[in-house]
Structure 1
């Protein structure tokens, strides 16, 4: 007897980041283009889910087309989610990272000072290649550490929670800075960090 295969996924909704305007050192035009790219990741993630449903219900799981979609999924999904973290940890004018704050204290448990942590994070962000600089938290030890993620999916640490996410693909800054001026973009990014949003991501 053949069992009919039925699966379903809830579509992902695009988040509203229209409040992100007048950022320091990151133009509204750059944000407009960047948000358009984010929208594409949401649409592509949903499209892949729909195709997975179609192929599964047609009994084509494990066939070449299905396999390639499964391999592609991490790229589109992580592209969607990492952009949400990135846009979600910025606001016009930014805010101050205080030593006495919860995030400040957690950083100083690992790094001798906030300046030492920032220098390390910026050095990670300045690495050659396209990808992301991410401050992760280990869910088991609660320790914070800086990491480089190539593309969207290479280098993610299983189970670690993204706390601060910085996009260092060239599309994040190329309208405002030359390719060799990534360090200027990184400083601009720091001017716009919403530390309350970052702190809210900490695992208690």
Structure 2
């Protein structure tokens, strides 16, 4: 049983993807695969890739050519074109430490609501990446997701992201009343917190991908 944050991990027990303004900028976070359309790459090609489980430009850039050619309708020439176009959008070579430092400085760490867990994580849950939490039944995974759905809305100076939350529930365990209780803990207005959470129930992997 697992939970993924910042991405819809489709095999999870409960998934929360936290979003905020910083992640909407072009150079932060994953790039949707539709950005590849054009220059010899058609909407049909994009659809084939999505059906095969590729949804970001990064997923193409990091995939070996031989794997891409196993996708029905993707020839070797098309795979070469895909990798070439992906490389234009995703830097795969060297970068200066200054540039890397700048990107790292844009990362926001979200509090989990537990000072000790934040300490173990080096400050909290990082934006721009996927964090997976797994464990036995009734060990607090869903509670952590509910907490993050609220703490992502906190001001940055309170270890929040001043953002919103996309909550994808694969177990049917989402409870908005828990968000209201957590909001009260952080002195937030419950109705405002609920308005900043977009919820969807995913009944299976195919449904979640859709």
Common topology (TM > 0.5) = no
TM-score, length-normalised on structure 1?
A: 0.24
